[in-house]
């Protein structure tokens, strides 16, 4: 498989979920000498075009406020980017966000959306992964996501060095974008 630089679009959980997941990620990274990263759900991966990414973030933020996801549980796999993760149900809202971003970025990528929030990137034995998955209890029945980020990264991501090279190229808070736009419209007399 060829490696290429891409833009990944992430939904970022709001508080208190963000802090909860960041603590788990930090703890697991320390215990297993793995990379630290921001908790996120990838909703699209496409071409490395920063201008298109900014446009895609703005378009998605103009159409979506808070995104709520129901966790299905903690799972694990032998795939580096899914060593240990929270699996979410596929929803129509996630499908729409993916489509809006793909269209706004003018991106024909065939990214297959599989909503999950990774907790650890590390090649570990199956027994260790299963034990870790069983040891984590989620205190949330629903997790809100209130911002989007565009991340420049290498795909496929396969090592700690790859993760540590990720760079944010754009970010937007969903609800504040709509609030700002509403404020502008109200000042112009638009309701």
> The domain spanning residue 96 has which CATH number?
3.90.1140.10
- What pLDDT is recorded for position 83? 97
Which domain range does residue 163 map to? 4-187
Q: What average pLDDT does the chain have?
A: 90
Q: Is 183 a residue whose pLDDT tops 70?
A: no
Confirm if 46 and 109 have CB atoms less than 8 A apart: yes
Q: 1: pLDDT confidence band, cut at 50, 70 and 90?
A: low
- What pLDDT is recorded for position 109? 81
What tokens were used for 99?
């489509």
Overall domain count for the chain: 1
DSSP state of 14: P
What tokens were used for 177?
């974008």
- Beta strand 167-173 with 41-47: parallel, antiparallel or unpaired? unpaired
The CA-atom distances, in angstroms, between 122 and each of 11, 14, 67, 125, 166 are 22, 25, 28, 10, 16
Q: Is 157 a residue whose pLDDT tops 80?
A: yes
Helix or strand (DSSP H, E) at 143 = strand 143-155
Q: What is the pLDDT of residues 69-126, one digit of tens each?
A: 999 999 999 999 999 999 999 999 999 999 999 999 888 788 899 999 999 999 999 9
CA dist., res. 109 & res. 35, Å (int): 27
């Amino acid at each position: 498989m060829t490696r290429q630089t891409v833009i990944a679009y992430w939904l970022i959980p709001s508080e208190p979920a963000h802090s909860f997941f960041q603590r788990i990620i930090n703890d697991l990274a320390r215990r297993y000498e793995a990379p630290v990263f921001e908790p996120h759900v990838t909703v699209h991966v496409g071409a490395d075009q920063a201008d298109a990414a900014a446009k895609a973030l703005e378009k998605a933020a103009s159409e979506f406020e808070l995104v709520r996801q129901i966790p299905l549980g903690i799972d694990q796999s032998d795939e580096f980017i899914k060593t240990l993760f929270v699996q979410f149900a596929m929803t129509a809202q996630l499908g729409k966000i993916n489509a809006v971003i793909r269209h706004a970025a003018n991106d024909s990528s065939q990214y297959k959306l599989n909503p999950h929030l990774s907790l650890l990137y590390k090649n570990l034995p199956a027994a260790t992964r299963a034990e870790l998955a069983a040891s984590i209890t989620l205190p949330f029945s629903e997790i809100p996501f209130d911002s989007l980020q565009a991340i420049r990264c290498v795909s496929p991501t396969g090592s700690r060095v790859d993760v540590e090279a990720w760079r944010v190229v754009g970010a937007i808070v969903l609800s504040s974008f709509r609030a700002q736009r509403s404020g502008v419209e109200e000042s112009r007399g638009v309701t």
